Amino acid sequence: MPEQPDYPSLIAGHTAVLDMINNGESGLPVLHHLLRLAQQALGADGASFAEYGPHGGRIIAAVGAAEWAVGRPIDLSEPTNARILAGPRTAEVPVSALSAEQAHQIGGRGLHRALFARAELGGVLIGSLHAYYRDADGATGPEHHTLITYLSACIAHLYGGQTGLPVHGDGPVVAALADGLAIIDKDSRVRLWNPAAEQLTGSSAEDRLDRPVPLPVPPPGQVVDHQLPDGRWLRIASGELPGIAESRVVTFRDITDQHRRDHDVDLFIAVTSHELRTPVTVIKGYAETLSEHWYSLSDADRRAAARVLGQRATELARLVDRLLSAANDAGPASGAPAAPFDLVEALRAAVDVLPTELRRRLTMTLPDDLPKAFGDRGSLTTVLTELATNADKYTPPGTRIELTAAADERTVLFRISDRGIGVLPEHVERAFDRFWQGESGDQRRYPGAGLGLYLVRQIVERQHGWVSLRPRSGGGTVAEVRLPRG
């Protein structure tokens, strides 16, 4: 007979959640509190929430024995995941029934069964709430299924209230209630038409339901700009709906008065010209100095100029690599097949090629007995350089940047921790978007292309690892990279 849910914890925890919302808190902090509440009330050993988009899913928050999974991508096309998302609202499965990779990672941490519940808003699948248990022979009762369904509905309500979520950039319900949203069937007939869609198009839900969608619908993952008869412009995107067969979600927003550069091509040209200007100017200046004043310079001055030329040339080569990789939607890699490698040795080698001033700020705490990682050793220099440079850019001079490494049963990891300006909870996923740099003011105060974290995620996930950001207790940011054990 399964134990009953902890209802006193549920009531107390939910009261705390309401107090948080009433006090103006939102987004990931509230989501984390709901996960802790789910773990305690359901008697679980860990809990997580996965957010889904048209191109896949990602664990965006986790607590307890599942905390390691933050940032982990989820393949929605994997058969077991697809069955869970398309079946009943809740499901309990043994971990061994999941995909081989999931079962290997989750089971390796002593978790043997999982209880899932879908979170839906207006017929749109937003994500799923997961509770994990260590006891392989236990079972949950109907009340557990009812409770996890209720908690998943609470999470969906956070999305509906537009309170700091979603954080996963390509989610199907991004600004679903702030933007126009339509659900269409296989015949492109409208099944859902939200109030914002009515306002943007001037067409009511009564007029639109069961009729063809009155807008061009781009293929999933693409966008199209469309001009309305009154001269206004809409930007339209679409995506497949996981768990809802032969249906698609269409979102659109008014971009008539939008002044920022929206197309990646324009932005790429602007970023490239801006980012290349400084190193090229410095190299040109020092080269001309050496060429025109060679005999009047001392040996020390020549060596200093040569060092600057070498540093700037290295910086320029790395920058070109980043820009071209981003333009091709692919991260740089050595091209070598994945293999076991010594992570500590690779990290030390990567640190050796960092700029001198950055190396001086870096404090390393690396164990001697770390298990080997499995992946592309040659790409680690790029990953570490991008994370360390990012920490350096947003951290006051004179403060330390920490590099640490560790391992658990299934992964080997390293962290870059700083005491800089920190990262807002609602930005921890958007920071990995291409060309994204937080608030527009950051682009003036902290120059850069907004490509580094995007490329890091591309590189790491090709090696079946994952990368995540989180605010650091006491201020600052922690960037964490996990790779499979060798």
From 408, 431, 412, select the one nearest 477 (Cα to Cα).
431
| Residue 3 structure tokens | 């134990």
Asked whether the beta carbons of 334 and 479 are under 8 A apart, the reply is: no
Cα 153 to Cα 166: distance, rounded to the nearest angstrom: 15
According to DSSP, the β-strands at 401-407 and 362-365 are: parallel
pLDDT digits (tens, 9 = 90+) for 388-413: 988 998 899 889 999 999 999 889 99
- Comparing 264-327 with 339-484, is the CATH topology the same? no
Average pLDDT over residues 418-438: 80
pLDDT digits (tens, 9 = 90+) for 241-289: 655 556 788 888 887 765 344 445 554 555 555 556 556 766 777 788 8
The pLDDT of residue 446 is above 90: no
What is the band of 146 on the pLDDT scale with cuts at 50, 70, 90?
Answer: very high
Model pLDDT, residue 56 = 76
CATH fold label, 264-327: Helix Hairpins (1.10.287)
Q: Which CATH superfamily is domain 7-160 in?
A: GAF domain (3.30.450.40)
| Phi, psi torsion values for 182, nearest 5 degrees | -135, 140
Model pLDDT, residue 64 = 95
Whether the model clears a pTM of 0.75, i.e. scores above it, the answer is: no
Model pLDDT, residue 166 = 57
The pLDDT of residue 323 is above 90: no
What is the band of 328 on the pLDDT scale with cuts at 50, 70, 90?
Answer: low
442 or 407, which is more confident?
Answer: 407
Sign of CA dihedral 11, 128, 252, 452: positive
pLDDT digits (tens, 9 = 90+) for 77-87: 788 788 777 88
Model pLDDT, residue 1 = 46
Model pLDDT, residue 319 = 64
Q: Which CATH superfamily is domain 339-484 in?
A: Histidine kinase-like ATPase, C-terminal domain (3.30.565.10)
CATH number of 180-254: 3.30.450.20
Per-domain boundaries in the chain? 7-160, 180-254, 264-327, 339-484
Model pLDDT, residue 403 = 97
Model pLDDT, residue 318 = 66
289 membership: H or E segment, kind and range = helix 264-293
From 133, 105, 113, select the one nearest 410 (Cα to Cα).
105
Question: Which of 180-189, 219-228, 332-341 shows the lowest per-residue confidence on average (mean pLDDT)?
Answer: 332-341
The pLDDT of residue 426 is above 50: yes
Model pLDDT, residue 199 = 84
